[in-house]
Amino acid sequence: MENLLSRFYRYVAIDTRSDERHNRCPSTAGQLKLAALLNEELISLGLADVTLDDNGYLTARLPANTEQEVPAIGFIAHMDTAPDFSGKQVKPQLVERYQGGEIALGKGVEYLSPREFPVLRNYLGQDLITTDGTTLLGADDKAGIAEILTAIACLQAQPEIKHGDIYIGFTPDEEIGRGANLFPLDRFPARWAYTVDGGELGELEYENFNAATATIEVRGNNVHPGTAKGIMVNSQTLAAQFHAAMPEAQTPERTEGYEGFFHLIGLQGSVEKSTLTYIIRDFDMDDFARRQSFLANRVMEWNARLDQPRFTLTLQESYRNMREMVEPHRHIIDIAEQAMREVGVTPLIKPIRGGTDGSRLSFMGLPCPNLFTGGHNFHGKHEFISLQSMEKAVATLVAIARLTVTATSSN
């Protein structure tokens, strides 16, 4: 546990916030800094085929320690943190044996309270790692990186645990939807893999949202406000009216489970021009298509009622539900479920209300469900993770490696 914690602290100290405004890969220099550190760590662990390319993709292999033919598997995590909250100068704090009540973050300007986050009550007596209230923590997904490398070190220290080839992949820019864009599958010949990028203890996910981004540009007409009557068209007013008429109940804060949504993530503008940016999410492909059609029809209706077309819609699909690519390989899920149970974790199979590198990789021919890391409240100042849950994640990965051998021999 001490090595697991020290790894995690080392990784979160590096600012790896991704930035979708930049087209380069990785989008930020901090990700390359972390990749270089991890590259040295993989070499020091004595792993084979350690390769860090110019795009920031880092891969390596733990060689099999059995002569039995065992399918090669992989573990994958991403190095970047979310672009919408600061990950600079992260100062994690350790709350040992949490006894309940509010946790002061840093100097106590911000608090982590069970009134606001009832899930805290599940962690009485456990060691919690929190932020200082000024940044995110970065457990998404540096906890996954720390857990993977600790699991590899555990396997190396226990050669009696037999395993096949295990490939490791650390990717950039997952948080901005590019993590799989340049993934080097030629260096990663695993039969299947697991992203270690989930939330609470026991999460096991093999279906995710279908996702798209909708950008709506609104063109106005700017003139001097003193002579504006009948001439000025304020694009900001049109944009606000458009959003106010969107389905109120179909937003992230009003939906759960398999319910989809429209989410306004950006609104910029001036009198002359404004931009609304929505993300569209739905599990069902037909409903996903209907959501895109809904926006297209609304833009047409608004243009029809104006003096001239002033709304322009651009739709860009991001990723698809991986269920259709993973479900035919049910043994992948079965192995993960059994591994969790053997280490005392109850599997919590649920859909991902988001996406992972695994969704894209599954469609690229690498079936890739998602495993828990143990964290909560990602992408914000109230993020926290249980050290005991992280330890269970490590044990689960070790068990998956072992059970892959067992499952192969039983077949």
Candidates 15, 41, 80, 391; catalytic one: 80
282 noted as active-site residue: no
**Single-letter amino acid, residue 114:** P
165 noted as active-site residue: no
The Cα 178–Cα 55 span in angstroms is 11
Candidates 15, 127, 165, 174; catalytic one: 174
The Cα 173–Cα 357 span in angstroms is 10
Which tokens hold the place of 261? 């949504």
Contacts for 67 with CB less than 8 Å, ≥ 6 apart? none
Encode 225-262: b = buried (16+ Cβ within 10 Å), e = exposed.
Answer: eeeeeeebbbbbebbbebeeeeeeebebeebeeeebbb
The Cα 36–Cα 44 span in angstroms is 12
Which tokens hold the place of 65? 């320690």
**How deeply is 386 buried, as exposed, middle or buried, from its count of CB atoms within 10 A (0-12, 13-18, 19+)?**
buried
Residue that is written with structure tokens 């080097």 in the block: 184
Report, in angstroms and rounded to the nearest whole number, the Rg of the chain calculated over CA atoms.
23
Asked if residue 61 lies in contact with residue 398, where contact means CB atoms within 8 angstroms, the answer is no
Residue that is written with structure tokens 């798209």 in the block: 212
- The DSSP letter of residue 283 is S
Question: What amino acid positions are annotated as catalytic residues?
Answer: 80, 174
